[in-house]
Each structure stands twice: as structure tokens, then as C-alpha cells.
Amino acid sequence: HEENWKINHGPLRSIMMAELYAIMKSMMWLAMHSPLLEEKDAVILTDSKSGIEVLRNLTPGQQSSLTNTIRNLAITLFENDITITLQWVPSHVGVDGNEQADRIAK
């Protein structure tokens, strides 16, 4: 499924936080639509290696409210039999969805 969002990431402090916010929004969409989904395996594409690394290395007590929300969404999706894979894609090399996201972001 394809859906586009555009946010002003000013209050998010960094590009990585904006990337994490986009991951969170994708997971929220999955959680909201999970009863309607035939396919229970979801892949979220991101060009943020640092965002993936932050999520991979979450430790209790060191989470921001954003990463905590992402963690809770992951648990909720898991409990609803939705499997999520975060897949890194290179930026600015012609990956269609990533190029589209870059255009929307500008």
C-alpha cells in the first residue's frame, strides 16, 4: 500500500528524528489497518542507517518518547501477528520510493 505524508521536522530536532517519525507513522498505519490486511509481513523502507541502528540498540531507560512509541507499536503489531522488517535502501541512487520521498520532503 502506498500513502504519502509530509511533515515539518523543525521540532523533531534532526533528520534522524524525522526519519524515526516516518517509521512510527508507517507502523501506526499498519496498526490501524492490521485487521484489514491480508498480508501479515510488512517491509518499511528507509535510507536512515542511523535510525535503524538506534532502533536495533534500544535499551530500557535510554529511550526517547518517539523510540518508546515505536517499540510499543512493534509489540502491538507482533501481538497482532504482523511481522515488520526495517529495510535500508541507499539514497539518491534511483530507488523509486526513496526518490519519491525525497521529492515530497523538499
- Domains of the chain, first to last: 23-105 (3.30.420.10)
For residue 13, which phi and psi values (nearest 5 degrees)?
A: 75, -25
Beta carbons within 10 angstroms of residue 59's beta carbon: 6
> What pLDDT digit, counting tens, does each position of 18-69 carry?
889 989 999 999 999 887 778 889 999 898 999 999 999 887 777 788 999 9
C-alpha closest to that of 84 among 43, 37, 46 = 43
Q: pLDDT tens digit string along 70-79?
A: 999 999 999 9
| Residue 94, pLDDT above cutoff 60 | yes
Q: What is the pTM assigned to this prediction? A: 0.76
